[in-house]
Chains A and B, each alone.
Chain A
C-alpha cells in the first residue's frame, strides 16, 4: 500500500526479525485494542496478540499491499483469532462463518482501494462516534455479530428478541453507519 509498509512486509517475509519488530511497534496498539475490546480479558488478549503476529510472520509473503493496508490485514487476523477464542469459550462449533474463518487472511482484503479512500483518522473517528450513537439494541446486535461472531439466531436468543427484529436492527444500524462514511 505504501513504500514503507511494502518494504517492511517484504523484509518480514524474508525473515527479518527487525521488520517484525517494526510492524509490531507500529500496530500493536490497534491490534491489542481490538483484542481487548472483543475479549475483555488481558490474558486472552495477550495470547491473541501473540497468535496474530505469529500468523503475520508466517504469512507475510502473502501480504499484498494493493489489497489493503497492513493495519487492516493485522486487524482481520485479530478479529478471526479473537472470535475463534470466543467460540472456544462458548464451545459451540457450528457458528457463523464470516467471523473467524482461518482462511480469511489468504484472501485479498476486500477493502482494497476503497479503504485507501475511506479509511482516515476522521472517518474512523466518525464511525466510532456513530456506532456509539446508535440505539443500544442496534449497536449491541451489530457488535454481537461482527465482534463476537454470533449468528442472527444466536443474537436473537441472547437478546431475547424475535429473529426478524434482530435482522432489522442490524440492517438499520449498518445503514446509519454507512451514512456516516458517505456523508
Chain B
C-alpha cells in the first residue's frame, strides 16, 4: 500500500483487468496504479487470465458464403499496395462504419487504450521494446512516491531479464543444432486435412533434431499432434506437439538410437497423451529424397 487512499481502490484491480470500470473509475484507478505496487502486482497477475479468456469461446464453422463475402469486399479495397491509409470505402457501404476505427489518427487514447498500456507496463515479459519503455518513462515521470517508482523499475528489469534468459536458452539450443556441422534437413508437406501446413526437421551428427511446423489446424479439445519417425521397420513416436494459436510449433529432441536418419517423418492427430502407434489422420508427411 503506497498511498493513503489505497482503501478507496481496494478490490478494483480485478474490475480493471476485466474491463468493468467506468471511464471515470478507470482513469482514477490508472492514476492510482502509478503509485501502488500492490495494485500493479494484482492487475499484472490477472492479465494472463483476461487475455486467455479471448480464446475460451469454442471455435465455430461460419456459413460457407461468408468467406467469399469477406474476401471480396476486402480485396476490392486493396488497390495497389497496402498502407495504413488504405481505403475502406468498399466496406463502409453496407456493413457498418469502420473507417472511424481503423485509421490511426494519433488522437489521445481513450481509457480503454490506457488499459492495455497499463497492461503492457505490468506484464513486462519478453521485452515490449521502445513503446513499452517510452510508456514506462512517461508514467514514471509523474510518480510522487520514489520508493514505489524504484520498485516498479526493478520489477520491470527483473521480468525483462528473466524473459531474455528464457528466450536465449530456447534460441541457443535451436541455433546450436541448425548451425552445427553436417546439418541435414527434411521437409514435410501438408496433407489433404491440412493443406496449408508445413514442417521442417533439421538434425546434426550428434542426433539432435529441431522440428518446426506451421499452419497446423487448431486442435480439437482432447487431441494432440504426434510426430513420428517412419522407419522401414516401425513407426516410432518422436514427440507430442501442442501448436500455438497460430498453428506453429518448435521443438528439439534427441533422435532415438533405433532411428537412422534420414527417414520419413509424419504428424498425426491423436488423443491427448499420445498413442504407441498412429491411429489418427495424417496432417504432415515428409520423405527423404535420394
Please give the residue numbers on chain A whose beta carbons come within 8 Å of chain B beta carbons, in ascending order: 1-5, 12-15, 17, 20-22, 24-26, 28-30, 32-34, 36-38, 42, 45-47, 49-51, 53-55, 57-62, 66-67, 69-72, 75-76, 78-79, 84, 94-104, 106-125, 127-128, 131, 142, 145-147, 149-153, 155, 166-168, 170-171, 174-175, 177-178, 181
Alpha-carbon distance between A168 and B12 when the two chains are bound, in angstroms: 9
Could you give, for residues 87-131 of chain B, a 1 whenever the CB lies within 8 Å of some chain A CB and a 0 otherwise? 010010001101011111001011111111101101101111101
On chain A, the residues within 8 Å of B290 by CB distance are none
Q: Which residues in chain B, 176-227, are within 8 Å of chain A measured between CB atoms?
A: 196, 198, 212, 214-215, 217-219, 221-222, 224
Question: Once the chains bind, are B88 and A178 in contact (CB under 8 Å)?
Answer: no
Alpha-carbon distance between A46 and B19 when the two chains are bound, in angstroms: 25
Alpha-carbon distance between A175 and B243 when the two chains are bound, in angstroms: 27
The minimal Cβ–Cβ distance linking A77 to chain B, given in whole angstroms, is: 9
Question: Once the chains bind, are B196 and A22 in contact (CB under 8 Å)?
Answer: yes
Question: Once the chains bind, are B20 and A155 in contact (CB under 8 Å)?
Answer: yes
On chain A, the residues within 8 Å of B55 by CB distance are 30, 71-72, 75, 119, 124, 127
10 smallest CB-CB distances across A and B, nearest first, come from A113-B126, A101-B112, A98-B19, A4-B214, A110-B119, A71-B245, A2-B248, A29-B59, A15-B82, A171-B14
Given A60-B82, A66-B129, A181-B48, A151 contacting B215 (CB threshold 8 A): no
The minimal Cβ–Cβ distance linking A54 to chain B, given in whole angstroms, is: 4
**Count: A-B pairs, CB below 8 Å:** 347
Considering only CB atoms and an 8 Å cut-off, how many residues of chain B contact the other chain? 105
Given A1-B244, A29-B62, A171-B11, A58 contacting B75 (CB threshold 8 A): no
Task: Assess whether B229 is interfacial by the CB under 8 Å rule.
Answer: no
Alpha-carbon distance between A17 and B102 when the two chains are bound, in angstroms: 18
Alpha-carbon distance between A179 and B11 when the two chains are bound, in angstroms: 18
Question: Once the chains bind, are A51 and B18 in contact (CB under 8 Å)?
Answer: no
On chain A, the residues within 8 Å of B17 by CB distance are 174
On chain B, the residues within 8 Å of A42 by CB distance are 63
Question: Once the chains bind, are B111 and A15 in contact (CB under 8 Å)?
Answer: no
Question: Once the chains bind, are A46 and B60 in contact (CB under 8 Å)?
Answer: no
Alpha-carbon distance between A78 and B126 when the two chains are bound, in angstroms: 25
What would be 29 A-B contacts, judged by CB atoms less than 8 Å apart?
Answer: A3-B212, A5-B248, A14-B82, A15-B80, A20-B75, A26-B246, A30-B245, A32-B66, A51-B91, A54-B70, A55-B98, A66-B126, A66-B129, A76-B54, A97-B19, A97-B112, A98-B16, A98-B115, A102-B101, A104-B113, A108-B120, A114-B123, A121-B219, A121-B221, A145-B18, A152-B15, A170-B20, A171-B15, A178-B46
